[in-house]
């Protein structure tokens, strides 16, 4: 019970919210790592997933190769990249992007390759070109799975971006690392709560976007 009270008091201290070491600053840094990594992963995973999902050749091999990245611990990748690139943002982004790609790539590939064949045949019978069929039929049908993959990657990134602190960088992970180093357990609990709150907010936002897209698609279909 005392740790709850101490954490509450920690949150009430104004200097824990402002300045370079405050919650808002760390929150922004954490979000920066997450969103930049997510954007890079989307730019890689979506085109590759769509391409191999449509052609259905070599897709399993490509997905397996990208999934190898999940077999390596993020901290290990960061430490290896630090040896190569030094203490910069690059090691963190490499590790986070490697983690974010597999769920998006897999879901996109499955969504495109397993699109309703009846609708795809109907689009072909209507005279649609392969590109038109892909853009107007397969991708819209695959969007629920694509959104699910992005959401999974986003939540993983929020949790894993904590490792940036191990590389001597910033973000919400500093509350955990510094708190453990200083035996300041209220700081550790507070940092964990803020990270959890960020994950919950992002989950709700992604769910809202997915529902809006579904409603939009159904309205257009009608």
Ranges of each domain in the chain: 30-221
Q: Are 88 and 98 in contact (CB under 8 A)?
A: no
Q: What is the average pLDDT value for the chain, to the nearest integer?
A: 84
Query: How far from chain centre, in Å, is Cα 203?
Result: 11
Supply the pTM of this predicted model: 0.86
pLDDT of 70 > 70? The answer is no
3-class secondary structure, 96: helix
Whole-angstrom Cα distance, residue 195 to residue 173?
A: 8
Q: Considering only 2-6, 11-15, 16-20, 70-74, which range has the smallest mean pLDDT?
A: 70-74
Whole-angstrom Cα distance, residue 96 to residue 159?
A: 10
pLDDT of 218 > 70? The answer is no
Question: How much of the chain, in percent, has pLDDT values that exceed 90?
Answer: 27
Residue 121: which pLDDT band, with cuts at 50, 70 and 90? Answer: low
The confidence score (pLDDT) of residue 25 equals: 92
Separation of first and last alpha carbons in the chain: 56
**Which of the given ranges, 51-60, 120-129, 146-155, 175-184, has the highest pLDDT on average?**
146-155
pLDDT of 194 > 90? The answer is yes
Query: How far from chain centre, in Å, is Cα 90?
Result: 17
Give the CA angle between residues 27, 180, 94 to the nearest 5°. 50
Whole-angstrom Cα distance, residue 115 to residue 138?
A: 6
The confidence score (pLDDT) of residue 219 equals: 62
The token pair at 24 is 């808002």
- Asked if CATH classification 2.160.10.10 holds for the domain at 30-221, the reply, yes or no, is no
Residue range 70-87: mean pLDDT, rounded? 73
Enter the DSSP assignment of 119.
H
Q: Are 190 and 172 in contact (CB under 8 A)?
A: no
């Amino acid at each position: 019970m005392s740790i709850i009270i101490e954490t509450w008091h920690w949150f009430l201290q104004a200097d824990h919210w402002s300045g370079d070491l405050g919650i808002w600053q760390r929150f922004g840094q954490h979000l920066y790592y997450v969103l930049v990594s997510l954007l890079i992963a989307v730019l890689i995973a979506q085109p590759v997933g769509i391409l191999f999902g449509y052609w259905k050749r070599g897709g399993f091999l490509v997905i397996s190769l990208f999934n190898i990245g999940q077999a390596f611990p993020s901290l290990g990748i960061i430490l290896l990249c630090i040896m190569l690139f030094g203490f910069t943002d690059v090691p963190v982004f490499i590790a986070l992007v490697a983690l974010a790609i597999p769920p998006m790539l897999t879901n996109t590939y499955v969504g495109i390759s397993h699109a309703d064949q009846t609708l795809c045949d109907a689009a072909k019978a209507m005279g649609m070109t392969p590109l038109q069929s892909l853009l107007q039929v397969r991708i819209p049908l695959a969007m629920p799975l694509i959104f699910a993959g992005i959401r999974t990657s986003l939540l993983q990134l929020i949790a894993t971006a904590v490792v940036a602190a191990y590389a001597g960088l910033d973000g919400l992970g500093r509350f955990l690392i510094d708190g453990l180093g200083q035996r300041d357990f209220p700081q550790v609990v507070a940092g964990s709560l803020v990270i959890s709150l960020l994950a919950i907010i992002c989950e709700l936002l992604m769910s809202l976007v997915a529902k809006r897209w579904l409603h939009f698609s159904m309205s257009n279909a009608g």
